[in-house]
Amino acid sequence: MLLFLHTQRELSVGWNLDKIIRLFNIGDKTAFSAGLSGIRGVSLNDLCLIYNVSDVFLSTSCGEGFCLPLIEEWRVVYQ
């Protein structure tokens, strides 16, 4: 099992993900999106791969995106 985090690893705001990963001792079971930045996301091909190899999609947003990530995930997986 792998925890794939589609986020930037080193953010100046929010949770310290490296600290949480160490706390739960899941470093060998955690992966991040490579080359992701706030301005440029991943390609559509990479996004399709991420959604289609996942067993669970979890969006922890409290309003950002206005539910568009959920619609996008459904559209990419069930096209």
29-63: pLDDT as tens digits: 998 877 666 666 777 788 788 778 888 777 766 65
Residue 26: predicted pLDDT: 94
Which residues have a Cβ under 8 Å from the Cβ of 61 and sit 6 or more positions away? 69
Residue 14: predicted pLDDT: 77
7-37: pLDDT as tens digits: 777 777 778 889 999 999 999 999 887 766 6
Contact at 8 Å (CB) between 7 and 17?
Answer: yes
Domain boundaries, the chain: 1-38, 42-79
Residue 38: predicted pLDDT: 62
